[in-house]
């Protein structure tokens, strides 16, 4: 039966009903920076907590779902990357990799660490990850960087797992809906972290949230989850006005206590540095948004072609580890979206309370 809340119309969202949550507010998954504590506390606050499992082994995926079940009796989501490596990665030659190592060696020298060995290709096995996910049966499964095979979506449906796909363009949203997924995230170019584009290169898929949401809403018949640049109630109301049925908030949750980020990243997110973010392929090989720093600026000016994902990330790993140890934030990936400058809360409870109360207030004031 339709749950209708006449005092708070935005809460009547079809997305909230499909996901089984009280509020149509989703905490975006954070890949390697995900945490059970954060996801569970969002779910316990009435939103949908998500855990990014892209880097986890099948066993770790099952363990994570078990931990989430112990921490919350509310719905939560597990996120996987459908494409775990760029097509060009396995065949990238040793000579090309060596050239990248040489071209970045001055950074290693500056950090006083030896130039690393050329990285070897290795990537998680999506099929094994998805098998583990199906066995663990989380209430919600979300996917980025592509659409899972039909058999996987059918197995989700049979097991009662609600599926969310991710799109950075209207065409990708249509592909997600045509595949039969239950909801679609429309991710505007303001969003923090990687751009999950899969039909065209990420550089050709940079539509902003304001233009993307109505296009997607006009194209698909499934609930649209707006992501990118939403960090307060104004963003929620705007997203709903544009045709969204739920929001996915990333950066504003990333800074909250209990998330997987380290102290340097947290401090940077709470500093004036967040006023300038940029997109770069140089940290991982795939385009991602973070706080602009010296490394991003230098690499943008260089003629160096980043290695395909995840080779570039593997190349940079010893460097980012050393930069972390030496507290060199000018060298680190500091993932953040453009709305990081709007951050006001550092606990899930305070953030959720303000998002819900202020969205209710705005709706009342606007007589929506």
Residues of this chain that bind ligand FMN (CB under 6 A): 28-31, 33, 52, 54, 79, 144, 166, 187, 190-193, 196, 227-230, 248-251, 254, 335, 337, 339
Q: How far apart are CA 346 and CA 92, in angstroms?
A: 42
Residue 286 CA: distances (Å) to CA of 31, 169, 282: 13, 17, 8
Beta carbon nearer to ligand FMN, 223 or 229 = 229
d(CA 39, CA 235): 21
* Phi then psi dihedrals of residue 232, to 5 deg: -150, 180
Residue 102: strand, helix, or coil: helix
Alpha-carbon distances, residue 51 vs 34, 75, 252, 254, 323 (angstroms) = 5, 12, 15, 12, 26
DSSP-based three-state secondary structure for 109: helix
CB of 226 to ligand FMN, least distance (A): 9
Asked whether 144 and 53 are in contact (CB, 8 A), the reply is no
- In the complex, residue closest to ligand FMN by CB: 250
Q: 3-class SS at 72?
A: coil
CB–CB of 343/254 below 8 Å?
A: no
Question: Cis before residue 310, ω within 30 degrees of 0?
Answer: yes
**Residue 367 Cβ vs ligand FMN, minimum distance, rounded to whole Å:** 28
**Closest residue by Cα to residue 126 from 36, 61, 75, 197:** 61
CB of 152 to ligand FMN, least distance (A): 16
Nearer to ligand FMN, 35 or 100 (CB): 35
Between 116 and 258, name the residue whose CB sits nearer to ligand FMN: 258
Shortest distance, position 123 Cβ to ligand FMN, whole Å: 14
Task: Extract the tokens encoding 254.
Answer: 């990333």
Beta carbon of residue 79, minimum distance to ligand FMN (angstroms, whole number): 5
User: What's the closest the beta carbon of residue 91 comes to ligand FMN, in angstroms?
Assistant: 25
Q: How far is the CB of 325 from ligand FMN (least distance, A)?
A: 20
Closest to ligand FMN by CB, 45 vs 100, is 45
- Tokens 């363990």 correspond to 63
Using the minimum distance from each CB to ligand FMN, give the nearer residue, 148 or 196: 196
Nearer to ligand FMN (CB atom), residue 13 or residue 277? 277
| CB-nearer residue toward ligand FMN: 27 or 100 | 27
| Residue 50 beta carbon to ligand FMN: minimum distance, rounded to whole angstroms | 7
Residue 149 DSSP class: -
What phi and psi values does residue 248 have, to the nearest 5 degrees?
Answer: -115, 115
Task: Quote the CA–CA distance of 358 and 240 in Å, as a whole number.
Answer: 14
Q: By C-beta, is 28 or 310 nearer to ligand FMN?
A: 28
Minimum distance from residue 34 beta carbon to ligand FMN (Å): 7
Q: How far apart are CA 111 and CA 129, in angstroms?
A: 36
In which region does residue 247 sit, left (phi positive, over 0), alpha (psi from -120 to 50) or beta (all else)? Answer: beta
Question: Which secondary-structure segment (H or E) carries 183?
Answer: strand 183-187
Q: How far is the CB of 301 from ligand FMN (least distance, A)?
A: 25
Nearer to ligand FMN, 97 or 183 (CB): 183
- CB of 254 or CB of 307, closer to ligand FMN: 254
Q: What span, in angstroms and rounded, lies between the C-alpha atoms of 230 and 165?
A: 19
């Amino acid at each position: 039966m339709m749950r209708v809340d006449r005092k708070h119309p935005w809460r009547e969202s079809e997305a909230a009903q499909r996901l089984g949550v009280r509020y149509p507010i989703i905490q975006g998954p954070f890949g390697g920076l995900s945490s059970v504590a954060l996801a569970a506390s969002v779910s316990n606050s009435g939103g949908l907590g998500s855990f990014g499992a892209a880097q986890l082994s099948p066993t770790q995926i099952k363990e994570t779902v078990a931990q989430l079940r112990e921490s919350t009796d509310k719905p939560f989501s597990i996120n996987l990357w459908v494409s775990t490596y760029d097509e060009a990665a396995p065949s990238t030659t040793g000579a090309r990799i060596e050239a990248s190592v040489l071209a970045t060696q001055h950074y290693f020298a500056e950090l006083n660490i030896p130039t690393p060995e050329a990285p070897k290709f290795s990537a998680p096995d999506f099929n094994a990850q998805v098998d583990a996910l199906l066995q663990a049966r989380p209430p919600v499964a979300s996917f980025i960087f592509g659409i899972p095979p039909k058999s996987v979506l059918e197995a989700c449906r049979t097991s009662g797992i609600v599926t969310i796909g991710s799109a950075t363009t209207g065409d990708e949203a249509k592909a997600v809906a045509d595949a039969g997924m239950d909801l679609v995230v429309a991710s505007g170019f303001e969003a923090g972290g990687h751009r999950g584009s899969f039909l065209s290169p990420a550089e050709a898929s940079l539509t902003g949230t304001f233009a993307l949401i109505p296009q997607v809403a006009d194209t698909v018949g499934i609930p649209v989850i707006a992501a990118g640049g939403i960090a307060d109630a104004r963003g929620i109301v705007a997203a709903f006005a544009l045709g969204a049925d739920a929001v996915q908030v990333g950066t504003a949750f990333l800074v909250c206590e209990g998330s997987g980020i380290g102290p340097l990243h947290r401090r940077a997110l709470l500093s004036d540095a967040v006023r300038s973010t940029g997109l770069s392929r140089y940290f991982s090989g795939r385009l991602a948004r973070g706080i602009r720093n010296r490394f991003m600026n230098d690499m943008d000016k260089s003629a160096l072609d980043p290695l395909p994902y995840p080779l570039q990330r593997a190349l940079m790993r010893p460097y980012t580890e050393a930069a972390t140890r030496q507290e060199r934030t000018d060298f680190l990936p500091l993932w953040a979206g453009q709305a990081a400058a709007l951050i006001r809360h550092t606990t899930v409870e305070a953030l959720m309370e303000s998002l819900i109360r202020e969205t209710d207030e705005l709706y009342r004031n606007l007589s929506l």
